[in-house]
Amino acid sequence: MSFENILLEVVEQGVYLLTVNRPKSYNALNAATLEDIHSASQVVAADPEARAVILTGAGDKAFVAGADIKEMQNFKGIEAQRFSEKGMRAFRALELLDVPVIAAVNGFCLGGGCELAMSCDWIIASENALFGQPEVNLGVTPGFGGSQRLTRLIGRARAMELLVTGNNIKAEQAERWGLANHVYSAETLMDEALKLATTIAAKGPQAVRMTKQLVQRGQDMELDVACVMESQAFGLAFSTDDQSEGMGAFVEKRTAEFSGK
């Protein structure tokens, strides 16, 4: 799994670590990096043994400081739109993975970096993390889904405040507003991320995948329709080997050994 601008490795059984690896550029997202992220998502999606993904940035300065301004500066309108669409496709592929994706945010998480983190299922942050959508400072709008995901995550009023002022917020405020789930020291961030991922990897894989789908698909449905979908998924779970093993292990007071079937 060799890429130019990212690293993709299996760090524990079923647990992938995806690292944006351009530390000299504060991990800025150029077109090639977006393509690498998209390709990495396809690798994970094709692996039946995948259980969880941790996404982070190389170095201690930045998760991702934003899109690559030097690359974008002289874009014409259609070039800019295509660059935006490339980012949208990459982030949506990551978001639609059927295994949970955890963003481990260290340092700057701005613009395209914040948009990348928000395409994950949740964010954990180090105490030195800084979040923001500063695109208006450059005379442009967000281009990788920031105006939409941020609103869905923290609400219209708070999202508007960040989007139109271009202000940044620290990790503690991001946690209070619901953008980050947890804040840890920089030294323990990756250990905590791995702890979360290995916890997930030990659960029933089919149940985890179905639960993620229920949350993603159900959030925009009417409640009654979404609950019907949940009942159907619950019934389907009882056709899996994982259900037999999980409930059998509970009754027998032993640790379940799930097969993912």
Residue 261 lies in a domain: no
Q: Which of 185, 201, 217 is the last residue of a domain?
A: 201
Residues 119 and 214 in one domain: no
In the DSSP assignment, the letter for residue 251 is: H
Residue 1 lies in a domain: no
CA distances from 143 to 61, 104, 135, 216, 218 (A): 23, 22, 9, 22, 25
Note whether 8 and 50 are within 8 A (CB): no
Residue 258 lies in a domain: no
Residue 259 lies in a domain: no
121-145: buried (b, 16+ CB within 10 Å) or exposed (e) per residue? bbbbbbebbbbbbbbeeeeeebbbb
Kindly state the average pLDDT of the residues 93-101.
Answer: 98
The average confidence (pLDDT) of the chain is 97
Residue 191 pLDDT > 80 = yes
Q: What percent of the chain has pLDDT over 70?
A: 100
Which are the catalytic amino acids? 115, 135
Counting the structural domains of the chain, the total is: 2
Whichever domain contains 134, its CATH number is: 3.90.226.10
The residue with tokens 């299922």 is 121
Residue 16 lies in a domain: yes
Note whether 65 and 26 are within 8 A (CB): yes
Residue 210 lies in a domain: yes
Note whether 219 and 133 are within 8 A (CB): no
Domain span at 10: 6-201
Residues 237 and 193 in one domain: no
The residue with tokens 């005379």 is 139
Residues 184 and 214 in one domain: no
Note whether 206 and 237 are within 8 A (CB): yes
Residue 190 pLDDT > 90 = yes
Residues 223 and 131 in one domain: no
Residue 1 pLDDT > 80 = no
Tokens of 105: 């945010």
pLDDT at position 183, please? 98
Residue 133 pLDDT > 90 = yes
pLDDT at position 107, please? 97
Residues 209 and 197 in one domain: no
Residue 257 lies in a domain: no
Residue 243 pLDDT > 80 = yes
2 — pLDDT class (breaks 50, 70, 90): confident
